[in-house]
Amino acid sequence: MTAVPYSPLGRRMLTGLAFATSLTDTDARQHFPRFTAENLAANMLLVAKINIALTPGVSAAQIALAWHYVQSRKLKVKTVPIPGRRKCSRLLENVAAESVILTAREMEALAPLASV
């Protein structure tokens, strides 16, 4: 079985990039529950915890994608995530995530964050 994960970086939320807490009327993210005012603050706390766990030289987006790859291997599901790639530097960053090795300790630290 092959799956294509939808929005593997949470519509930029898991990239670690800061954005305004209020979205403009033209931003499609305003229609997703994770970006409502009530949920956004809680979700950004989760992102902050991911950022704290970062290995030097590895971005939050790479951690998120590497976590996804580990889960895919555990479930024995072939996946092809399609993260955003508006900039060439982001594309290269996303491709490099495949070579990020998460330790058992890092996976253990990320587990409670993924179950929220």
Instruction: For residue range 28-79, list pLDDT tens digits in order.
Output: 777 888 777 778 778 888 787 777 667 778 888 888 888 888 888 888 888 8
Q: Is the dihedral of CA 68, 83, 95, 46 positive or negative?
A: negative
- Residues 6 or more apart from 112 whose CB is under 8 A from it? none
| 17, pLDDT greater than 70 | no
Side chain identity at residue 101, one-letter code: I
Backbone angles phi, psi at 38, to 5 degrees: -65, -40
Residue 23: band (very low, low, confident or very high) from pLDDT cuts 50, 70, 90: low
List of residues 6+ apart from 9 with CB closer than 8 A: 15, 61, 64, 65, 83, 84
Residue 2 bridge partners (DSSP): 78
Mean pLDDT value across residues 94-107: 88
For position 53, what pLDDT does the model report? Answer: 65
CA distance 10 to 15: 8
